[in-house]
Amino acid sequence: MARDTRARMIAAAVRSLQHDGAEGMSFTDVLSASGAARGAIYHHFPGGKSQLVAEAATDNGNEVRAALAQVPAESPAAVVRGFLRLIRPVVLESASGGGCAVAAAAMTKSGPGHDGPQQAAAVAIGSWISELAGRLTVAGLAADEAGELASTLITMLEGAHVLARATGGIECFDQTAHALTALAEGRYGR
């Protein structure tokens, strides 16, 4: 039961980070959304909000990495197309007020004893790049080229979140996705 409460609190924290960012996330909202009792906060997260944000970023990062592992790898261009299809609904959520929980963790204020969220975000983003680079390597790219393209795709994803949130639309994402697809197909074939 305690693991279930903890998992519900982390899931609620992920949703809060996606919509409110780390600064806007409150324990009251996490408790309400998770159905946890007030005493659960420091029982499960003795490091306080910093620990909860870091663990939420880690959990969400693992979910994203697992989804990236499923991207088809028949060719480098297929990886690019699969990645763009995978992330489009997520970027669409950003246009209506969502966002990336991992990016929110990365943007938390740092200070003595509070660098856990940034470290968790860095590890998560690094795992996404590694996962995509692995898919691109399976698809036939050399490791260095796969790493560069994977890094470009993740950078595009995070930028797309910001632009979608700022503009309330995904036109910039769709334009960039079209350009990246054309570049990938031109360079690597279909």
| pLDDT-derived band at 42, boundaries 50, 70, 90 | confident
Residue at 18 is within a domain: no
Q: At residue 112, does pLDDT exceed 70?
A: no
CATH of the domain at 100: 1.10.357.10
What residue spans of the chain are helical by DSSP H? 2-24, 27-34, 40-44, 48-68, 76-95, 101-106, 116-138, 143-167, 171-188
Of the listed ranges 20-34, 59-73, 156-170, the least confidently predicted one is: 20-34
Question: pLDDT value at position 169?
Answer: 96
Question: What total of structural domains would you count in the chain?
Answer: 1
Instruction: Give the residue-averaged pLDDT of 85-89.
Output: 96
Question: pLDDT value at position 113?
Answer: 56
Q: At 23, list the tokens.
A: 């600064």
Average pLDDT of the chain to the nearest whole number? 92
Q: 67 lies in which domain range?
A: 49-188
Instruction: Give the residue-averaged pLDDT of 38-47.
Output: 86
Residue at 7 is within a domain: no
| pLDDT-derived band at 111, boundaries 50, 70, 90 | low
Residue at 11 is within a domain: no
Q: How many CB atoms lie within 10 A of CB 152?
A: 15
Q: At what angle do helices 48-68 and 76-95 cross, to 10 degrees?
A: 140
Instruction: Give the residue-averaged pLDDT of 124-150.
Output: 97
Residue at 15 is within a domain: no
Residue at 19 is within a domain: no
Residue at 90 is within a domain: yes
Residue at 143 is within a domain: yes
Instruction: Give the residue-averaged pLDDT of 76-101.
Output: 95
CA-to-CA dists, residue 91 to 42, 96, 171, angstroms: 33, 9, 10
Whole-model pTM: value is 0.90
Instruction: Give the residue-averaged pLDDT of 94-123.
Output: 85
Of the listed ranges 43-52, 84-93, 138-147, 157-166, the least confidently predicted one is: 43-52
